[in-house]
Amino acid sequence: MTALKRVQIHFQNHPIALTFVLAGFLGLFTLVLHGYYSPDMPELLWFKVLLAVATVLLGLPFVEASYAVFSNDPRAGIRNPYFWLYAFNLGYFWSLLNVIWNLSGPESLTPLFIQWGLTGILFGIAMACLQRRTPLSKSDNWNFERFDRQKPWARVFPFLWPLLVIALIVGNLVDLKAGRTSMTQVLFIAIFMGTLVRPIAQKTSHPWSGHALITASPQITGVLIVVVLSYWQ
């Protein structure tokens, strides 16, 4: 069994713990990267570290949800619409991290989104093509029973949402250049709104039960971090 396969199995068995561990690791990685490339900008240090942590906490379950429906759909390759959703979401998540890692101030945001947005599209498609699909059990962490009962419009919505998010990001980047918004507000929209809609929900016993809150703890923590950072000036 390969190391990558073992990680995938561990994530499926312990998704919450591994999400927090990976978030902490990438936060530390951001700290080291910033210290190496931008030692003269200490004011951005913890901002970038916390942004990276929040992006992983919100983005990893978001990508895993896309993989769940992609892996369980019998249609193969590019004929599977969830292939494209998974490719986009994976590329979007990767692009956000690279924007954060290379951030040097408000003036750098638009070029970074263009550069890493285009690169992210290619990255997502390449990784989706290389991904070996392993169909998940119906008793897994994802609510396939509810997914199978979805109305057609509910299945289309996750494909339309990224278009709205891109339009919001572009509009806010224009406002940022005109001085009508801040860098933190643009990043808030990119991280929070970008990971808000998932094609399948996680399986919980009751929406407000203790189990549901534990299951959603990575997303809740990520949202709290992003909300606090949205007031960062």
- Cβ(218)–Cβ(16) under 8 Å? yes
> What Cα–Cα distance (Å) separates residue 174 from each residue in 107, 145, 208?
12, 42, 39
The vertex-102 CA angle with 101 and 108, nearest 5°, equals 135
pLDDT at 135 over 80: no
Q: Which residue has the tokens 């970008």?
A: 194
pTM to 2 decimal places: 0.81
Compute the distance between CA of residue 87 and CA of residue 63 in angstroms, rounded to an integer.
9
Considering just the CA atoms, what is the radius of gyration of the chain in Å?
Answer: 18
| pLDDT value at residue 138 | 52
Q: Return the top range by mean pLDDT from 21-25, 60-64, 201-205.
A: 60-64
Question: Taking residues 188-200, what's their average pLDDT?
Answer: 87
Q: Return the top range by mean pLDDT from 46-50, 73-77, 202-206.
A: 46-50
pLDDT at 198 over 50: yes
Share of the chain above pLDDT 90, in %: 24
Quickly count: other Cβ atoms within 10 Å of residue 205's Cβ: 9
| pLDDT value at residue 111 | 94
| pLDDT value at residue 12 | 57
Structural domain range at position 222: 3-229
Pick from 58, 54, 33: nearest CA to 229 = 54
| pLDDT value at residue 6 | 56
Pick from 110, 229, 232: nearest CA to 178 = 110
User: How many structural domains comprise the chain?
Assistant: 1
List, in order, residues 6 or more apart from 98 with CB less than 8 Å away.
112, 116, 119, 120
5-19 pLDDT tens trace? 555 555 555 666 667
Cβ burial 63-91 (10 Å sphere, 16+ → b, else e): bbbbbbbbbbbeeeeeebbbbbbbbbbbb
33-52 pLDDT tens trace? 766 666 656 777 888 888 88
